[in-house]
Amino acid sequence: MTELPQFVSFLSDYGIRDEFVGVCKAVMLELAPHVQVVDVTHEVAPFDVRGGALTLVRAIQYLPSGIVLAIVDPGVGTDRRAIAVEVENGVLIGPDNGLLAPSVSMLGGATRVVMLDNAEYQLPAPGGTFAGRDVMAPAAGHLAAGVPITELGREIDANGLVPGLLPLPQEGDDGRIDGEVLWVDRFGNCQLNIDPDMLVARGVAPGDGVELHVAGQARRARWVGAYAHARPSELVLVTDSYGLVAIALDRQSAAEHLDARPGTAVLVVPPHAGSAP
């Protein structure tokens, strides 16, 4: 990056009740007063690295070029590494626990990775439990102020980073798809790890119905183009804003209706496959 970064996009599981987010922002702005901080979200479920990784990868293509600071760090204070990953249009900073990996991959891969171990660019820490304030936010601020990434710590092999653990659907020979819920949004829509093309490949077209098995329940769902196309209390499938299949109820929570949450298994049975046992 030849010009000073203008944006830091900040994601965490800190919530907004405590001072953690505000303190991290203050640390960055003290070092780089010109920078604008974009709050992606601070409502990732506590300690949910997979949920944080999914949230970040959904957002990453829409974030401004510059610096991304992502903190979901249940291993804080252990020997897990804090890292800065340089990509084509910026740098991602966070713990090396799989949180950054899917987004780094989506952005074309790492061009350089450093471990944040140069104490000169950190705050003195009274304890080891707030690396967001003491290590990662200062790294973001120093980068935004023009400090080269190589000054923040020693370079490490990108191939040794902890991978992201995003589940892939399993396709059966009989046409059934074993998937799972990736994410439940605040409206109760259940995003699946299933691409609409997988339904099309099994002869399912918009308007058709499929059988769903979720949390021990067998239900019918129709593939529609919009939430409002559902009939009252009708379970439907939609292609969501990220291009994945989601289970929904119009103006109701499909997650509550199905007792589903991230990680819940979902078996999709196309019409020609017959009923599941």
- In percent, the amount of the chain with pLDDT more than 70 equals 97
Asked, for residue 2, whether it belongs to a domain, the answer is no
* Helical pair 20-31 and 137-144, crossing angle rounded to 10 deg: 30
Q: Are residues 49 and 81 in the same domain?
A: yes
Q: Reply yes or no on whether the pLDDT at 207 is more than 50.
A: yes
Q: Of 160, 194, 222, which residue constitutes the final position of a domain?
A: 160
Q: Reply yes or no on whether the pLDDT at 188 is more than 90.
A: yes
* CA separation for the pair 129, 160 (Å, rounded): 24
Which structural domain, as residue segments, surrounds residue 44?
7-160
Q: What is the mean pLDDT of the chain?
A: 94
Q: Are residues 145 and 226 in the same domain?
A: no
Segment 131-146 mean pLDDT: 98
Q: Are residues 154 and 190 in the same domain?
A: no
Q: Tell me, what's the pLDDT at 1?
A: 47
The dihedral built from the CA positions of residue 103, 39, 80 and 154, taken in this order, carries a sign that is positive
Give me the number of domains the chain comprises: 2
Q: Are residues 126 and 250 in the same domain?
A: no
* pLDDT confidence bin for 272, thresholds 50/70/90: confident
Q: Are residues 144 and 203 in the same domain?
A: no
Q: Are residues 119 and 179 in the same domain?
A: no
Return the higher-pLDDT residue of 2 and 164.
164
Q: Reply yes or no on whether the pLDDT at 275 is more than 70.
A: no
Q: Are residues 140 and 197 in the same domain?
A: no
Q: Reply yes or no on whether the pLDDT at 228 is more than 70.
A: yes
Helix (H, G, I), strand (E, B) or coil at 58: helix
